[in-house]
Amino acid sequence: MSGRGGSRAAVSEGALVLADGSVFEGELIGAERQVATGEVVFNTVMSGYQEVITDPSYAGQIITFTSPHIGNYGVNETDMESRGTFCRGVVVRELARRHSNFRADSDLGSMLEQNGVPGISGIDTRRLTRLLRETGAMPGAFGSIGEQELLTAAIAEPGTDGIDLVREVTVPQSYTVDCLDPDNKIRIVAIDFGMKRNIAHNLARFGAVEVVPATTTASDILARDPAGVFLSNGPGDPEMAPYGVETISALLGNVPIFGICLGHQLLGQAIGAGTVKLPFGHHGGNHPVKNLLTDRVEITSQNHNFAVDPDSLRGKATMTHVNLNDGVCEGFQVTGEQAFSVQHHPEANPGPHDSNYLFDQFAEMLAGTGGR
């Protein structure tokens, strides 16, 4: 596709095969690739497909969109959530043949091609989602090769367990996002474990944000004299980022800390809590979360396969948020420290903004340091 009314000149048939042998026939879209492999997950957002595809947290995964019609409002540069794409592929029921939106610069098919993301359409995503919900996320492969070859590739795909995906997505060097208020002298350091752009924009309401690579040491961070440290979202298994845990452990007690998603899990490990892998994870923009401190229910944006074990928090932290769908720990406050975190995404993009107040909560901590 290209432009505002583009359509594919030719259709290439393909198939998606899961590691359990399940086969789904479809038509290949996006970047041309003989075979694409990854851990297959499903996302329930009704819109925001561009933000999802460009979220670094999807490294190593093939994204299945449960919404049946994808691409109808096109894509634009503003809605890119990272410097590129890190997911392994995209699965849809139907890709829009034409898009219509005044903000659109191009169409989704062209974006997939330009960013090297393979995809497959015409898939029975309802059947696929039910299968993943019952059996859990699993490796898969899709492409133009034979089904047996695709099955072999799916079985050989390691998934996201036991792999350090953070190093694949973190920024290679530091950069700064200026505060929206030029008179504000507060400095915030954000550790990029796979951070979305909109997070930095939210933090920039309260100070200048210096985004640093995931492997930056605590001594290096403290030498920058920040008023607070933010721990970003990111992909994969938190057990595979021990450098992050080591840094966070050394930061605790020295500076206020706010973490989300993978940053939440790493903060949990830093205080001695455990993490577990969920059967099919939370991926979508409609997850109900209860704030246990206020009894308020928030509809949240989520994207994670791992979670903090709530039982392991006893004596270390107080759980502040819980997922009403399955009881997963969605947030905690570290006992005796200015450090808290949540599993969901308060910045949304896509999704509701019910939890955006958490940035203000972090800002109150920053003000308490005197702005350094």
Of 355, 358, 359, 349, nearest to 289 by C-alpha is 355
Residue 1 clears pLDDT 50, i.e. is over it: no
Read off the pLDDT band of 372 (50, 70, 90). Answer: low
User: Which amino acid would we find at residue 55?
Assistant: D
Residues known to be catalytic:
261, 345, 347
Contacts of 360 (CB under 8 A, 6+ apart): none
**CB of 76 within 8 A of CB of 51?**
no
Return the CATH number of the domain spanning residue range 12-156.
3.50.30.20
Flag whether pLDDT at 5 surpasses 80. no
Among left, alpha and beta (phi > 0; psi -120 to 50; other), residue 351 is left
Residue extents of the structural domains in the chain? 12-156, 166-367
Q: What is the DSSP letter of 349?
A: S
CATH architecture of 166-367: 3-Layer(aba) Sandwich (3.40)
| Joined tokens for residue 93 | 């029921």
pLDDT in tens, 277-320: 999 999 999 999 999 999 999 999 999 999 999 999 999 999 99
- pLDDT at residue 2 is higher than 60: no
Tell me how far the alpha carbon of residue 261 is from its chain's centroid.
Answer: 8
The H helix count followed by the E strand count for the chain is 10, 19
What are the tens digits of pLDDT across the range 306-361?
A: 999 999 999 999 999 999 999 999 999 999 999 999 999 999 989 899 999 999 99
- For position 371, what pLDDT does the model report? 52
Q: Summarize pLDDT for 54-76 with one digit per residue, the tens.
A: 999 999 999 999 999 999 999 99
